[in-house]
Structure 1
Amino acid sequence: MRFQVDIHDVRPIKTLTFCLDLDRNAPLCIVGRNGAGKTTLAKAVMNFALADTFRRTTSDGALRQSSFVRYTVDGVSFEFTYDPAVGTLSTRQSVPKSLRSLIAVELPIPHGQRFSYFHALSEADNEIRRAIILDNHTRPGALIEFLTRIYGDARFEDLREVRFSRGACCFYHVEDERYVREDYFSSGEFFLVNLFRRLQSGPRLIFIDEIDISLDAAAQARLVNELRALCMEFSVNVVFTSHSLALMQTLREGELLYMEAVGEQSILEERSFAYVKSLLFGFHGWDRYILVEDESAKMVIQHHIDLHCRPTYYSYLIIPVGGVTQVTGLLQRNRDHGFLAPADAVIAILDGDQAETGNVTKADTYCMPLRSLESAFEALYDQPGFSPKLPDGEKIPDKGRGKHIYKAYRRYRLLSDAEIVERVCVPQAEKIQSFSEQILRPFLSSRLDASDVAAAPVPI
């Protein structure tokens, strides 16, 4: 089932299309600069379920005669246009309750539903108190486990829940037969309790604007992994906006969209964490790391990428480390401590002369097609008719012959580094293409199946 929202001329958005496959069952984060229109998108999604959303939440001037929002659910469209009589968007079409119930949206204070729930809990205090006195409460085991995993401690073991006429209320017993209602929990705890209930309540899409606003950094870092499991368990999609680096860096491929205005059009595009980090926060880093032995190997791998892997989805850095032992050692240390990046974001590519050793059996370790740039250039140099040749007076020792020839060419500037690399790679063109397509391209490119979400222009 596909849910699409087309927004036109709702400030600050001129045009925007957001489309999501509701069978995806996964989290999705939307980021962008202030004023990009993230909250407007959230309100537009909410308006499908609650048709007076713009009237209640939008200031004067955000809507005009040309404003409209069109919703399409599995090919059936509903269009909300500007009604000057009421000063908001409305429709003459009847949106079935079965479709409206698919969508749940949580806005920041003061419009979020969890904030209105404060009043419901306060007004039902006598009813809740009576249920507690009569021991009509249960232990919400799944919720306790969820909160424990998010916060990493056992303080929720004594949490209990009662039902009342307008919903449910969690509480703690305290001394003198008193209790603490959930609306007196910390703002982060109260948010997570309500989020868990939303996940259980049956919508196919939950849209949360500013999901991180009440959570500390540690909780933010653990939240996304929990959402992945719960989205699958409850067959729901959780779309949220955030400005949190702690949260963003836990997102996987296909879970991060960047929102920006390009001319008269607002667009949502899948981006990597490093791209977003550098654009929004000015921090520069890389998504992928390739460890090689030396500068020569770096030039060879860069040649392969330029020839067979452009454009790359991920930003990357090729790091010359030293000898084979240093390369494999650094790879293992990163796997143990993650000081460069997560283990799956770092690989080692050794010179081809290591192909028959045990080093290539190690995880994430490969050999390039050339034995080495120097040995490949030596073999090319020895072929009849090769030119330009080194000066006749240049003495070439037998030991380290390949390295000497390569360094001499650089010293005399007979060929540039790029020309040397290009020449030695031509005889190995098929092997290089195969290596690039099997190893480099998957490592540097998005593996997201384009069929997951149809998006003109939202490629998620």
Structure 2
Amino acid sequence: IKDKIYVELPIPHGERFNHFQKLGDIDSALRRSISFEEYVKPEKLIAFLSKVYGSNRFDNLKEITVKGAKYYFILKSDDYYIREDYLSSGEYFIINLFKMIRLKCKLIVIDEIDISLDASAQVNLISELRGFCASDKVNIVFTTHSLALMKTLSDVELNYMENNEGVVTLQNRSYNYVKSILFGFRGWDKYILTEDEVLDDYLTYLIAHDNAPIFFKYKVIYVAGGTNVVSLMNRNVETQFFSSADNVISVLDGDQNKDEARLQYCKNNEMIFFIPFQSIEKQLLLHYRNEGRDGLPEVIYNSVGSESKVGKRLYKSLVSEMSKTKVFSFINDRNKGKVKKFREQLMVFLNAKNS
């Protein structure tokens, strides 16, 4: 099993730094191979390096075999050459990583993979390593503190390791969670756009009230007006000023789903959801008008005007009497089936990981 596992540590402990003496010992064999042109062009390694660094400076890379081991150098004019250990530390690391993959290691563990690599090379490297994992059936585990690199990882690839008073834990976490813990940057993975402050408060309560685990950091934002909410979400599809399109949804009052004129702007859009009532305020008004007010306390409010305006006045009066939490709890307790189904839709969105 040990022969199938490779562990690479950073400077000066990494295995690749133990090869310097070996490379010095084979220098005469290397010069002889150059004189007799006993070398080959390692096309796959050249392609790997070129994609990681976005450069063609490795086109003259050559490979020789000495006592069963492969060594690399860049051949210059007049038989001048640059041995692999004289390349940059990042380039030398990439070459040694390639060697381990080609040795059919099944598990490669790398501490601080981003050391000696610029941000662009870090991003490109991860993309290339995914290809090797698939084609060579290799598993690669690495640590990093690089935000640029972490940003490229999928939701299931990023894990957070923590040592809390001697107890080490490893948990799958979102990018913005790790970013906020390590660097204090505030950010969100998922966005819920909605119509007004009341719906904002209700959704926040509904999602959090039973303390169910939520993988992603999220933010509810009220915009004002259903058409404005959907318009903002649609503009994000093009510009991604919030996030990618699959990380942003709209949640509208249920009456928006029954109005044919309004329905046109949200027709056949799976990123738009509707609460299971016409609105929070109208649902309260419905209960309040039932016999015995369905248990709601009697309050003073102006009952003249449209259903929407009367409902808003009633909501304010009830909140003053009961608190928002109790008002929302009252609505949910009397509409358990519909609320449960709606909440499950929200939780799927907030916990859906990209592989």
Q: TM-score, normalised by structure 1?
A: 0.68
| Counterpart Cα distance in 1 of 2:276 and 2:59 | 57
Counterpart pick for 1:299 among 201, 207, 228: 201
| Counterpart Cα distance in 1 of 2:270 and 2:44 | 37
Q: Which residue of 2 aligns with 1:344?
A: 246
Change (3 A) 1:360 1:132: farther
Q: Which residue of 2 aligns with 1:252?
A: 154
Q: Which residue of 2 aligns with 1:11?
A: none
Cα distance, 1:211 vs structure 2 = 0.9
Partner-residue secondary structure (3-state), 2:74: strand
Change (3 A) 1:153 1:309: farther
Q: Which residue of 2 aligns with 1:20?
A: none
Cα distance, 1:389 vs structure 2 = 4.1
Q: TM-score, normalised by structure 2?
A: 0.86
Change (3 A) 1:415 1:202: same
| Counterpart Cα distance in 2 of 1:130 and 1:224 | 37
Q: Which residue of 2 aligns with 1:410?
A: 316
| Counterpart Cα distance in 1 of 2:328 and 2:57 | 61
Please tell me whether the aligned partners of residues 217 and 246 of structure 1 are also in contact (alpha carbons under 8 angstroms).
yes
Counterpart amino acid of residue 10 in structure 2:
P
| Counterpart Cα distance in 1 of 2:107 and 2:18 | 21
Cα distance, 1:448 vs structure 2 = 10
Moved more, 427-436 or 106-115: 427-436
Please tell me whether the aligned partners of residues 351 and 368 of structure 1 are also in contact (alpha carbons under 8 angstroms).
yes
Q: Which residue of 1 aligns with 2:335?
A: 428
Provide the alpha-carbon RMSD of the alignment.
Answer: 2.7
Counterpart pick for 2:79 among 177, 186, 202: 177
* 1:442 matched to 2:348: yes
| Counterpart Cα distance in 1 of 2:281 and 2:102 | 62
Counterpart pick for 1:280 among 164, 171, 182: 182
Counterpart amino acid of residue 407 in structure 1:
R
Change (3 A) 1:206 1:430: same
More strand by share: 1
Q: Which residue of 2 aligns with 1:391?
A: 300
| Counterpart Cα distance in 2 of 1:322 and 1:156 | 56
Q: Which residue of 2 aligns with 1:201?
A: 103
Q: Which residue of 1 aligns with 2:40?
A: 138
Counterpart pick for 1:217 among 110, 113, 119: 119
- After superposition, the C-alpha distances for 1:316-343 in whole angstroms (9 at most, x for unaligned) are 1111123333323333333333332344
Q: Which residue of 2 aligns with 1:373?
A: 280
Moved more, 440-449 or 356-365: 440-449
Change (3 A) 1:320 1:153: farther
- After superposition, the C-alpha distances for 1:359-406 in whole angstroms (9 at most, x for unaligned) are 1523533223233223322323332321434437x24213xx223332
Cα distance, 1:434 vs structure 2 = 1.6
- After superposition, the C-alpha distances for 1:177-216 in whole angstroms (9 at most, x for unaligned) are 3222222222211111211221221111111111111111
Change (3 A) 1:207 1:378: same
The gaps in structure 2 that reach 5 residues or longer are none
Change (3 A) 1:109 1:209: same
Please tell me whether the aligned partners of residues 60 and 76 of structure 2 are also in contact (alpha carbons under 8 angstroms).
no
| Counterpart Cα distance in 1 of 2:309 and 2:53 | 56
Please tell me whether the aligned partners of residues 309 and 440 of structure 1 are also in contact (alpha carbons under 8 angstroms).
no
Change (3 A) 1:408 1:430: closer
Counterpart amino acid of residue 429 in structure 1:
K
| Counterpart Cα distance in 2 of 1:207 and 1:385 | 67
Q: Which residue of 2 aligns with 1:89?
A: none
Partner-residue secondary structure (3-state), 1:348: strand
| Counterpart Cα distance in 1 of 2:142 and 2:351 | 24
- Say how many residue pairs are matched: 347
Change (3 A) 1:395 1:432: closer
Counterpart amino acid of residue 396 in structure 1:
V
* 1:102 matched to 2:29: no
More helix by share: 2
- After superposition, the C-alpha distances for 1:300-358 in whole angstroms (9 at most, x for unaligned) are 22232124671212221111123333323333333333332344333222332333624
1:225-240 alignment runs, 5 A limit = 225-240=127-142
Change (3 A) 1:329 1:374: same
| Counterpart Cα distance in 2 of 1:240 and 1:282 | 22
Q: Which residue of 1 aligns with 2:30?
A: 128
| Counterpart Cα distance in 2 of 1:343 and 1:150 | 28
Which structure's relative contact order is higher, taking Cα pairs within 8 Å and 6+ residues apart? Answer: 1
| Counterpart Cα distance in 2 of 1:254 and 1:274 | 14
Counterpart amino acid of residue 367 in structure 1:
F
Partner-residue secondary structure (3-state), 2:6: strand
Counterpart amino acid of residue 365 in structure 1:
I
The gaps in structure 1 that reach 5 residues or longer are 1-98, 450-460
Change (3 A) 1:129 1:353: farther
Please tell me whether the aligned partners of residues 281 and 314 of structure 2 are also in contact (alpha carbons under 8 angstroms).
no
